[in-house]
Structure 1
Amino acid sequence: MKKSRPKYTKWEDFEKELMVKPGFRKAYEDLQPEFAVIQAVIDARVKKKMSQAELAKRMKTGQAVISRLESGKAKPSVSLLQRLADAIDARLEIRFIPR
């Protein structure tokens, strides 16, 4: 007897399904600032065509620090973000935007 393959769902469809749930939506929205920092770090490093190891070397830290930062396992301090900005020759800007 042949086993049927599991049906896979597109992430977008799954996300829409989850967003209907009030508890999930609030938790997701609460995490948006953290997701934005992670994405900004990854985008900046990739734009400079740097590996995690190269960025870590320029920041005088270990590659594992960059990995934890990009995976969301560590919450960066402003001083760490400033060191990162210096390492990629960028200016760190933090803004509060009215809702």
Structure 2
Amino acid sequence: MADLKYKPVRHNHAEFLAKAKQRPGFSEAYDSLELEYALAGQMLKARAKAGLTQDAVAERMGTTKSAISRLEAAGRHTPSLATLKKYAAAVGCDLQVKLVPQKPA
């Protein structure tokens, strides 16, 4: 069986964003995917907190590592609620979805 011990990769997100925002059109594209990035961030944090690799989550969900990679990639895949529930259970979480009223402009 593969080594399923989580080994974090160093990444300075603030530094990455600062550099990326210098590219034309990046800020607009990034802002339009705010919700997707927030969800992906929560998924990655939950997996890290559970100490799991993508392989381990895939095994628990009965899928492949590449499917988990796509699931965790913001803006590239729109997962169903059923898939998000399976992911949440695999990393030891409950899924909560809520609608929040918009603030008047």
TM-score, normalised via structure 2 length: 0.67
Identity across matched positions, percent: 31
Is 1:90 paired with 2:87? Answer: no
Shift of 1:89: 2.3
Between 1 and 2, higher relative CO (CA 8 Å, sep ≥ 6) is seen in: 2
Contact 2:21 2:27 in 1 (8 A): no
Q: Which has the higher helix share?
A: 1
Structure 1: runs of 5 or more not aligned: 1-9
Aligned partner of 2:57 in structure 1 is: 55
Which 4+ runs in 1 deviate beyond 3 A? 10-18, 23-27
TM-score, normalised via structure 1 length: 0.71
1:85 to 1:17, Cα distance in 2 relative to 1, 3 A = same
What is the count of residue pairs matched by the alignment?
Answer: 87
Deviation track 1:66-90 (CA, whole Å, cap 9, x = no partner) reads 1111223322111100001111221
Structure index of larger Rg: 1
Q: Distance in 2 between matches of 1:86 and 1:61?
A: 14
Shift of 1:39: 0.7
1:52 to 1:24, Cα distance in 2 relative to 1, 3 A = closer
RMSD: 2.2
